[in-house]
Structure 1
Amino acid sequence: MFSTHLQEYALDKYQGRKKYYSCLWEEIEEALKGCTEEEAILMRFLYGTMPVRDAGEYDFQVFLSYVQHALWLRRNMKWCGELTEDIFIHHVLYYRINSEDISDCRKFFYEQLKDRIQGMSLEEAVIEINYWCAENAVYESTDERTASPMTVFRCGKGRCGEESTFAVTAYRSVGIPARQVYTPRWAHCDDNHAWVEIYLHGKWYFIGACEPEEGLNRGWFTVPANRAILIHSRTFSDFMINSSEECIGKENLLTYYNNTPFYAKTRELTVTVKDQKGQPVKDAFAAVEILNMAEYFPAVTLVTDSKGEAHVSVGLGDVRVRAWKGDTFGEKKVSLKVTAKAELSLECSAGKPDWVTDEWEQAGFSAPEECPMHLGRETQEQKERKARRLKEANQIREQRFVACYDEKLASVYTEEAGMFRTAGENAAEIRAFLTKDENPGRRRMLHSLAVKDYKDLKASILEDHLGCEQGSLNEETYEKYLLCPRISKEELTPYRSFIRAYFKENEKERFGKNPEQIWKYIKDTIHYDTEVDYSTICATPIGCLKMKQGNSLAQKILFAAICRSLNIPARLNSVTLAPEYLKEGVFTIPEGFAEGQKAKDIAKEDAASLILKVKDKSKWNYFQTWTIGKLEGVHFDTLNYEGVSFEDNALELVLEPGVYRLITSMRMPNGDQHTSQRVFCLEHGEQKSIEMTLWESEAKDMLVNYSLNDFPVQDNTGKEYMVSELVTENAVILAFLGVGEEPTEHVLNELLASASHWKETAARMVMVLREPGELKNATLRRVLESLSGVELFFDEQRSCERAAAKMHVDADKLPVLILIQKELVGIYACAGYNVGSVELMLKLLEQ
């Protein structure tokens, strides 16, 4: 039986949701009558703490499956029965890990693993389960929508957030407490990362998800992690907050815990917030922001106490601290290597922009230095066993998905062959939809979807969206903004039939004649309470209508969904995410929508024109070297101009009047950044021109000069070459890869993304693999097909270790990239996880 504290907590939280669950309350209460006492306690706990949108998206039986399986584990798995109540509740029972789609999957994972770990110790089981994870999933760079653990199993691939969700599910399914740990942004490179912690004998240990090691507290990310500003974990309630970990506050439903001190050297930052009179401000917000992807990302947001203070332990790098209350704010750069205090004054406001300088301001941002916290080294025996087992895992995974691919079907549907490969076991759903009849809309709909959709789409859901009329619409408008069931990053649902049945005929007629009424209906009917939801996920159109609850993005998606259901083309603007519908051939924002508008939809007399001028357009990549944000209230919201390019070294943006901030950033090889920012105002009808500035270092400041000893490599026929034979007049990138491992996958994906720059530079790469089996890797094959100047070799004599030692980088942290000149002079090198390394080397080659 569970404690009185848990029973009372669960009941209190559950009863507090009654007003939100009004449409489901009787149904839930009736279902609870069929539960045992223990099941009812845990079901009330889940319904009382889950994001409200989940109650509207998933059936009672889905949640009950998690409860029943967790209770079975509690009774039958010795290690689970010994857990404290809070660890069991948060890290075995709880169904949600991050923002993944939820399905009844725990028993499935248990069945896959139970025999495999039979008779093992807890430590042995942890390691063995991660080998199973590696047999079934490998890293792949994908979009930000988090696929479910079952989707990852069926397609065999996922980004780090999906791999870690997959692995946590595997551990929880056998009663081993596990959680996802996350750095929202690295300080030394432009990316983030998620991995797994498992709880053994009263302590947390880390592992790389689907990246097994022969011991705990090991992983390729240990060095990046000891350079982190912030690493955190989360629970979906504040039940029995663990006092042994630093609780860094709540955000909506979530309670966050600071895990940084376990991975990196830290100090406690004290932020003091004062008003313009110098008095402390209570209940002000203070965000610690990391410069990453040319924007300031709020890694953690704190609330000040009666002294106007807030405290948090963070890594020893440079951050920007931003504080606000009401409509005033203040901000400043803080170097944690120098000081542990930051005092801010709330002197700025959007309504009185006298603080806007309209001048470029430069600042350097230092990343924390390496300070290893977990120094355990593999023995040679462990290295060899891991290499052998990983090779076996890759073969098992690849063989399973080769068997999924239907060559005969792909030969008939040649344009869809790539979809079948991506889908893995989900290819059966694509086949069922595609081959049902000769309706040409089937192919058109499939090609309108995001790549990830092929992994988890359902034929029955796509069927729901086929009944559209093209009329006089052009192909692009019809396929992208009417036929396509995907609007943003939401889960795909059969919303068209639901919406058509949900509204009365007179309502649908009114909406069809005047789509402005759709937005009015949404604003009048759909509400959002941040305290009972999780901002990272949004309700689907069906869930939004059922629960009358949905965040800002969910409401915009609902607008587009209702429009499309009524045969009105609609979309979310790619830059501002504003809802738009087609009116007289032009995508138009509903009049009642209060947020930013797309440039061309702003009235000509109100628009402001901003012309950005550059000297070398090749240096300007959005979310890498520059961004622009608009001040909304007390925050700068970064606009999404990803993919935009400068023509003739200039770019015109047509924007709403307001206060804007340009940020430019250049990342140094050591992870530090040089940044420039400019805050300026745009008035109604103003035309403004700004010369962009990028604070760059000279190549000589980035380069070293180390002589390497010559060494042999072998081509795929076994013929031997000395590296000195392969390096001629021009510098060459020597790349020792760990194909199939996440850091190398990042580099391969960067090579694909930099294909045009690679061609312009006429770059050459001597790519050195560990063994021929790595040639089967799909990402590597795409690189070899897409890029010229890449020569393949193998390293049979462990030359990587000697070359890396000469360049003072770690040979164990593949990939090892070395920029090498004739006479074998190494001028730059990096090892392991260094996002942006390809572009940096191309720039060094140019210089």
Structure 2
Amino acid sequence: MISENLKKYATEKFEGRRELLAPVMPVIEEKLKQCSEEEVVLMKFLYGTMPVRDAGEYGFNLFLSYVKHALMLREKVAWCKELPEDVFVNYVLYDRINSEDITDCRPFFYEQIMGRVAGMSLWEAILEINYWCAEHATYEATDSRTASPMTMYRSGKGRCGEESTFAVTAYRSVGIAARQVYTPRWAHCDDNHAWVEVFVDGEWHFLGACEPEEVLDTGWFSGPANRAILIHTRNFSDYVKESNEEYLGKEGALYYFNHTDFYGRTKLVKILVKDENGKPAAGAHIAVEILNMAEFFPAAVMIADADGEVRMTLGLGDIRVRAFDGIRRAEAMMRIEEEDSLELVLREEAVPEADDRWQTLEIRAPKEVPVRNVVATKEQKERNAARMAEAERLRKARFAACFDEKKAAAYPEAEEIFHRAGENFEEVYTFLSKDENPNRKKLLFSLALKDAKDLKASVLEDHLDCEQGDLPEEIFRKDLLCPRIFLEELTPYRSMIRGFFEEETKRSFVEQPERILDYLKKNITFHAEEEYDTIMATPVGVLTMKQGSPLAQKILFVAICRSLNVAARLNPVTLEPEYYRDGEFHSVETEAAVLKEETESAVLTLNAEDGSAWKYYQTWTIGKWNGTVFETLNYEDIAFDGKTLDLTLEPGCYRLITSMRMPNGDQHAAYRVFELKAGEAKEIYLETVKKGLDELLEHIELPEITLEDLDGKAHTLNDLTKDGPILLAFLGTGEEPTEHVLNELIEIAEKWNAKDAAMAAVLRTKADLENTTFQKACAAIHNMSLYIDPSDDAPAIAEKMGIDAEKLPLLILALPGNIGGRAYAGYNVGSVGLMLRLMEEAAKA
């Protein structure tokens, strides 16, 4: 069943890791003696290719469960038997899909699904399994910590990365090869997306995770994918045979493969890098950057070959190419639609030239030119709609049954936490109800709502043992009592840390927390080439393996402080570790281990004509030069005070980026590089390429349509616009694009209401009223009227506005006199805010 090639590969990979796995190697070798020959090969394959941190976080028996389950599938399931060996080990056996917590879930999923697809063809089974996924999980906007597939099953909601991890797990559990597909950033809007590909009859086909259709190779994201600059998959091994997939390179433990040409129009691009003497810069790093969320995001980083070249297939949009080799660097814009090669010359430059002037850029997004035209028939669409409605009914019924009203009534302030917990309700209740310790509620409310889905009462118990002393209440709750430090998995690290260090060492750490950094530098290593940097090793894992990424070490610093009753945190902007003493937080420099407060800060004042128009990670960002790249600072929650914003910054070189996204996805952008000296006070007026909003307004005569309010009364479009412009929104509640739009509407509700803007929400059926996100939007927006479209007029109005009626939501700015001013189909980040601004402009006319 297992080839000699795989045996050789697995053995070489495993033996090559022997030194890194030393802390757990005695246990591994002893356990391997109890395994069959085939199990040994696959266990070595996993240990030889997994991110090393996984070996310290999880026990041998967990991985053995994956191996045993995969071998059972290979032996008993017909479609699994037929898979090529490399596809089997990478896309059925493999435990890790993304950055999720690994749990022993494959047998559970198998028991849930296999009976349901018995007797079906592979094609039929794939479609049916996605309906099963939709019955148990749907989209919810949340933070970037990737919940495990079991958490998704037990809570019923997650973002696209979690939905796709969940669906891939479902497929792999029954022997269907599946993988997560990812666009690191869209080119036409400020977001990213993940979905699923399955292996059928020797080819890969795509589908939306937990978004079933009656056919493959279609989904709401088909259009956006057609406009992507880069779409890739990630492998944890390079055991790949006869693949025609373009290899992008290795980053840490990951191998990247390019699939952009499967989804849209592309071009093979050559990038050549030379030194100042004209010689090829072999080994130079070449980053392909996409301007997205007002930052240049490195979508791919490749290594130049012996000729100083890289070649890759990219979508026909604009990119920024950045090459670097030590302190030698070069960068340039590239318009792929018009050019297929670029030459860069590396120059020695420790710090970028800071000319302190605005430089403007026009960034074009790829145009939508579909290369795949898979369309469901009317009958298939009707069947899909009926099955999706049933899936939603089943999902809601299951999770409604999880909520114990009697128990929850004792803690009314925690009602939303209990609802979010799903099947984890009892864990939350067990922790809260154990005794009258007031710190129980404080600890629970210090966590993110998402933590309710997978927290364990036993883990939280470990973190109750701490003393407030004279700490302010907020500092005590957030920076001492709270077990969460960043996005790592929650573990009982306090008791482990307290038992790990000698008493004298712990006293010295408390007296001078900087000594913790000395310990980390001397005892903790990091092997970037063997890790997956999206996963944060836990404090327990880092101490177990004596290995951890720079971020994992910062998390460990904070964990040690909190375990020893010293309040600490990661700075929310820079992610540098800080401890609290004498009424303020003190920063520690991980690299130099010097106190940052010894360096006098600078103050940057940003001025703008209208501060409310500037939203971080949408219209502007600021990044600090770290020696290799401008690292974007996290000011996501900051807002202008009228026309100004003051930022306290360390001395250094900075880059401001501003961006104005146009309706067609293009961007008018500007950037400015400048230096800040210690103690300096500097003012900058934020600029971007000006384009009058009136230029964005169209004047298209719309067909006369009739909508019904919830009482069945008819209303024409002229009726809706008699008092002025209105946002006409045809919604697909429960679907990811509409969820995004509703969340954006909730986010800007205060501004929306202040402008007394009007919105007409058009639902498919009255059942859509039950959608939780829609209910929140209704509560947040004052001037929203609700309608049904009984005559299905959406396609006619969409056709007039030149948008795709199939891509809900449809947002149409309707002007008095049956005129359309602007329209969007699907979700584009910032579209709701732009519509509000256009409505203001139209009202002036």
TM-score, length basis structure 2: 0.98
- Secondary structure in 2 matching 1:115: helix
2:127 match: 127
- Figure out how many residues of one structure are paired with residues of the other and give that number: 841
Q: Which of the numbers 346, 356, 366 marks the counterpart of 1:358?
A: 356
Question: Which of 625, 629, 635 is the equivalent residue of 1:635?
Answer: 629
Per the TM alignment, residue 759 of structure 1 is displaced from its structure 2 partner at its CA by: 1.6
- Note the C-alpha offset of 1:356: 2.4
- Name which of structure 1's ranges 122-131 and 679-688 shifts more when overlaid on structure 2: 679-688
Q: Secondary structure in 1 aligned to 2:449? A: coil
The corresponding residue for 1:612 is 606
Show CA shifts across 1:787-806 (max 9, x none): 11111111111111111111
Q: Tell me if 1:558 matches 2:530.
A: no
User: Is the contact between residue 520 and residue 592 of structure 1 (CA under 8 Å) also seen in structure 2?
Assistant: no
Specify the alignment match of 2:27 in structure 1.
Answer: 27
Aligned residues of 1:596 and 1:656 also touching (Cα < 8 A): no
Deviations 1:173-195 (Å, cap 9, x if unpaired)?
00000000000000000000000
Specify the SS of the correspondent of 1:381: helix
Q: Which residue of the partner structure matches residue 455 of structure 1? A: 453
Q: Give the aligned residue type for 2:647.
A: L
1:683, CA displacement in angstroms? 2.1
**8 Å Cα contact 1:270/1:340 also seen in 2:** yes
Aligned-residue CA RMSD (Å): 1.3
Alignment-derived partner of residue 759 in structure 2? 765
Look up the match of 1:703: 697
Structure 1 residue corresponding to 2:806, chosen from 779, 799, 812 = 812
Q: Which of 475, 481, 484 is the equivalent residue of 1:483?
A: 481
Distance change >3 Å, CA 181–CA 763, structure 1 → 2: same
Distance in 1 (alpha carbons) for counterparts of 2:730 and 2:681 = 51
Shift of 1:22: 1.4
Write the mapping of 1:334-353 to structure 2, written as runs, cut at 5 A.
Answer: 334-347=334-347, 349-351=349-351, 353=352
The answer (yes or no) to whether the contact 1:576–1:596 under 8 Å persists in 2 is: no
**Which residue among 689, 693, 698 is the counterpart of 2:687?**
693
Aligned twin of 1:493: 491
8 Å CA contact 2:542–2:556 kept in 1: the answer is yes
> Which stretch shows the higher mean deviation, 434-443 or 749-758?
749-758
Deviation at 1:603, TM superposition (A): 3.9
| Residues 334 and 342, structure 2, Cα contact 8 Å, conserved in 1 | yes
| Letter paired with 1:416 | A
Aligned mates of 1:752, 1:277 — CA distance in 2: 56
2:612·2:642 contact (CA, 8 Å) conserved in 1? no
Aligned AA for 2:186? W
Letter in 2 for 1:766: A
Q: What is the match of residue 829 of structure 2? A: 835
Question: Are 2:359 and 2:672, in contact at CA under 8 Å, matched by a contact in 1?
Answer: yes
| One-letter code aligned to 1:396 | L
1:671 is matched by which residue type in structure 2? G
CA distance in structure 1 between the aligned counterparts of 2:23 and 2:833, rounded to whole angstroms? 53
Alignment of 1:92-241 (within 5 A): 92-240=92-240
* Counterpart Cα distance in 2 of 1:330 and 1:591: 28
Contact kept in structure 2, 1:350 and 1:659, CA below 8 Å: no
Amino acid at match of 1:424: G
* Higher mean C-alpha displacement, 540-549 vs 692-701: 692-701
CA contact (8 A) 1:328 1:634 kept: no
Q: Is the 2:187–2:317 Cα contact (8 Å) retained in structure 1?
A: yes
Q: Which moved more, 1:274-283 or 1:16-25?
A: 274-283
1:779 Cα deviation from its structure 2 partner:
0.4
Q: Alpha-carbon deviation of 1:315?
A: 0.2
Structure 1 592/572 Cα, relative in aligned 2: closer, same or farther at 3 Å? closer
Q: Distance in 1 between matches of 2:520 and 2:259?
A: 40
Q: CA deviation at 1:711?
A: 1.8
1:308-319 aligned at under 5 Å gives the runs 308-319=308-319
Deviations 1:205-262 (A, max 9, x none): 0000000000010111000000000000011011125531000111111111000000
**What residue in structure 1 maps to residue 257 of structure 2?**
257
Q: 1:430-445 alignment to 2 at 5 Å?
A: 430-445=428-443
Residue 742 of structure 1 corresponds to which residue in structure 2?
736
- The residue number in structure 1 matching 2:538 is 540
Q: 1:528 aligns with which of 523, 526, 545?
A: 526
CA–CA distance in 1 between the matches of 2:15 and 2:453? 38
In the TM superposition, 1:293-304 aligns within 5 A as 293-304=293-304
Deviations 1:513-551 (A, max 9, x none): 221211111111111001111111021000000000000
Contact 1:330 1:348 in 2 (8 A): no
Which blocks of at least 5 consecutive residues in structure 1 are unaligned?
none
Contact preservation (8 Å) 2:702, 2:797: yes
Q: CA deviation at 1:592?
A: 5.6
How far apart are the structure 2 equivalents of 1:665 and 1:677? 9
Which letter does structure 1 place at the counterpart of 2:476?
Answer: Y
Paired letter, 1:363: L
Give, as a single letter, the amino acid of the residue that structure 1 aligns with 2:798: A
C-alpha deviation, 1:596, in angstroms: 11
Aligned-partner Cα distance in 2 for 1:625–1:846: 19
Corresponding position of 1:654 = 648
2:775 equivalent in structure 1:
781
Aligned to 2:820: 826
Q: Is the 8 A contact 1:281 1:307 kept in 2?
A: yes
Structure 1 position 684, deviation (Å) = 2.6
1:498-517 map, 5 Å: 498-517=496-515
Q: Report the Cα distance in structure 2 between the residues aligned to 1:167 and 1:243, rounded to whole angstroms.
A: 24
Specify the alignment match of 1:573 in structure 2.
571
Tell me the equivalent position of 1:44.
44
Residue identity in the other structure for 1:239: Y
Distance 2:637 2:589 in 1: 29
Find the residue that maps to 2:817 and give its secondary structure: helix
Judge conservation of contact 1:221–1:833 (CA < 8 Å) in 2: no
Larger mean Cα displacement after TM superposition, 3-12 or 512-521: 512-521
TM-score scaled by length of structure 1: 0.98
The aligned residue for residue 3 of structure 1 is 3
Cα displacement (A) at 1:696: 3.0
Instruction: Specify whether residues 321 and 542 from structure 1 end up closer, same or farther in structure 2 by C-alpha distance, changes over 3 A only.
Output: same
The 8 Å contact of residues 588 and 594 in structure 2, kept in 1 or not, is answered as no
Contact 2:517 2:593 (8 Å CA) reproduced: no
Measure, in 1, the Cα distance between the counterparts of 2:278 and 2:645: 43
The superposition leaves residues 460-497 of structure 1 with CA deviations (integer Å, 9 ceiling, x where unpaired) of 00001001111111110100000000000000000001
Structure-1 residue corresponding to 2:269: 269
Mapped to 2, the partners of 1:830 and 1:59 lie a distance apart of 50
SS at match of 1:218: coil
Tell me if structure 2 keeps the 8 A contact 1:731–1:845.
Answer: yes
> Alpha-carbon deviation of 1:761?
2.1
Gaps of 5+ in 2: none
Q: CA deviation at 1:595?
A: 8.7
Cα distance in 1 between the residues matched to 2:103 and 2:594? 36
